[in-house]
Chain A
């Protein structure tokens, strides 16, 4: 079965520290990959996405992610976090199931707290 793993459940960083959140998925076919963010009290919104092409994708607010096909990974990075990055981050995979219908599967989420 398809699955998405996020290894870091809680991360606490000081401002200006670098961030890397891990995401691994299990699916052998073509996938579309996403990172979503949920700020406190707000709706889920897209940070960045990968469909094809350059495996290093840049998103909003200085975030980037690298797709490494051989490792089934799509890790999220930011060189220098800010207090306003405090949020929950979800990795998601969109892939076709046995019936051919695409499904989104979310990882368990990583709760990031940035200390001012």
Chain B
């Protein structure tokens, strides 16, 4: 079991739909991440939030919109996606205690498997 919880585990959506992926952690971590992972590929960084502020956007298309409502929650809003956006979307967190927000090991959720039709 992981201490980073992602919902839903599976999502199927059409290209005109609007949906959201949610991530929650209660480890007191101050950095949270969205990664995209295609089959047999490494995770690719999308966004980093540090102390609830967006600190890194890896040139992700605007059809992906992140949101960090508070230090425990991270959302990824999806709109007008393309079939090539189908992938496993991973949330991770890091940085607790005396560690700086975005150093230290990453704690990953189990991911949300997205299929865009």
CA distance A39 to B56 in the complex (A): 28
CA distance A49 to B106 in the complex (A): 11
- Tell me whether B100 and A102 are in contact (CB under 8 A): yes
Of B18-26, B38-46, B60-68, the one with at least 4 CB within 8 A of chain A = B38-46
CA distance A104 to B102 in the complex (A): 9
CA distance A55 to B51 in the complex (A): 31
Count residues of B near A (Cβ-Cβ below 8 Å). 25
The distance from the CB of B32 to the nearest CB of chain A, in whole angstroms, is 13
- Tell me whether A111 and B40 are in contact (CB under 8 A): yes
- Tell me whether A94 and B103 are in contact (CB under 8 A): yes
Cβ contacts under 8 Å, A44 to chain B = 43, 90, 92, 106, 108
Cβ contacts under 8 Å, B90 to chain A = 43-44
A 79-114 binary contact with B (CB < 8 Å = 1; else 0): 000000000001010100000011111111101000
Whether, in the assembled complex, B50 has its beta carbon less than 8 Å from a beta carbon of chain A, the answer is: yes
Whether, in the assembled complex, B48 has its beta carbon less than 8 Å from a beta carbon of chain A, the answer is: yes
- B106 interface neighbour in A104, A107, A109, Cβ under 8 Å: A104
Cβ contacts under 8 Å, B55 to chain A = 101
Cβ contacts under 8 Å, A108 to chain B = 41-42
Binding site for B on A (CB under 8 A): 32, 34, 36, 42-46, 49, 90, 92, 94, 101-109, 111
Within 8 A of A (CB), among B86-102: 90, 92, 100, 102
Cβ contacts under 8 Å, B92 to chain A = 44
The distance from the CB of B88 to the nearest CB of chain A, in whole angstroms, is 10
The distance from the CB of B110 to the nearest CB of chain A, in whole angstroms, is 4
B 103-117 binary contact with A (CB < 8 Å = 1; else 0): 111111111000000
Whether, in the assembled complex, B2 has its beta carbon less than 8 Å from a beta carbon of chain A, the answer is: yes
- Tell me whether A45 and B50 are in contact (CB under 8 A): no
Chosen A-B contacts, 14 in total, with CB atoms closer than 8 Å, are: A32-B103, A43-B90, A43-B109, A45-B108, A46-B105, A46-B106, A94-B104, A101-B50, A101-B102, A106-B42, A107-B42, A108-B42, A109-B40, A109-B42
